[in-house]
Amino acid sequence: MRAATAAAILLVTVIPAFAQRAEARRVQSAADVFQALTHVPEHEVPAALVHQVEGIAILPGVQKVGFIVGAQRGKGVLVARGSDGAWSRPLFITLTGGSVGWQAGIQSADIVLFFRTRESIDRVLRGKYTLGVDASLAAGSLGREAGAVTDQDLQAEIYSYSRTRGIFAGLSVSGAALDVDWDANASYYGKDIGKPQEVLSGAGLPDPQSAAELRKVIADYMKSVK
C-alpha cells in the first residue's frame, strides 16, 4: 500500500513537470523558427507588414500527410501586441486541416502567420478559426524586393510564411483551422485557463523564462525593422 501511494504521488508530481517542460520546448522551438525566418538578409519580411502586425502565430514542425486526401496537424503559439506595444505571453494553439487532390507524401514545415488586424486575433480567441475562410489569407513575400511592398499592397488580414524540410509539394494552410490548446496552456502556466484573454493579458500568471525569451526575440526584430 505504501509503495502504491508513493508511486501515485510520484506520478502526480512528475507528469505535470514533464508536460510543462514539453510546452517550454514548444515555445523555444517557436523562438528558433522566428529567428530563422527573420535573420537571413536575403529573406526579409516587408517592413510595411511588420509595422502593422498585431499578432504572430508560430507553428514549428507542422506535419502534412497525404495520398489523394491530405491532412495536416501542428502545435504552436500565438502572441499579440498590446496597446503599449509590448508582446504578450504565448497562447498555445493547434492547427488542423485537410485538403483533397492528387497528392502523395509526407511533409514537415515550420509556419509563421502574421496577423494584421486585432479582429482576426479576437476571432481565434473565440473558438475554431478557419484560415482563408474566417479571414483573408495570402502567402507572404520574402527577399530583397520585399522592401518595396507598401501599405497599399497589403490587403489580406493574415500573411503566411513556411520553411519546408520534406519532399511533399503544395503545402498550404488555407482551409486549416486554428484553435486554442487548453491542456497545453494549463500545463505551461500551472493553472486552468478560463479564457484565452487571460494568457494575453498575463494577469496572475507566471512568466516562464522561455516566454520571456520569445518576447525578446520578437521585440528585438521589430525594433530592427526600419
For residue range 194-211, list pLDDT tens digits in order. Answer: 999 999 999 889 999 999
pLDDT of 6-20, one tens digit each?
Answer: 444 444 444 445 456
Q: How much is the pTM? A: 0.81
**Distance in angstroms (rounded) separating the CA atoms of residues 91 and 188:** 10
**Distance in angstroms (rounded) separating the CA atoms of residues 27 and 218:** 12
Lookup result for grid cell 522561455: 210
C-alpha cell at 74: 501542428
3-state secondary structure of 177: strand
Average pLDDT of the segment spanning 73-100: 89
Element (H, E) at 59: strand 55-80
Question: How many alpha carbons lie under 13 Å from residue 39 in its C-beta half-sphere?
Answer: 10
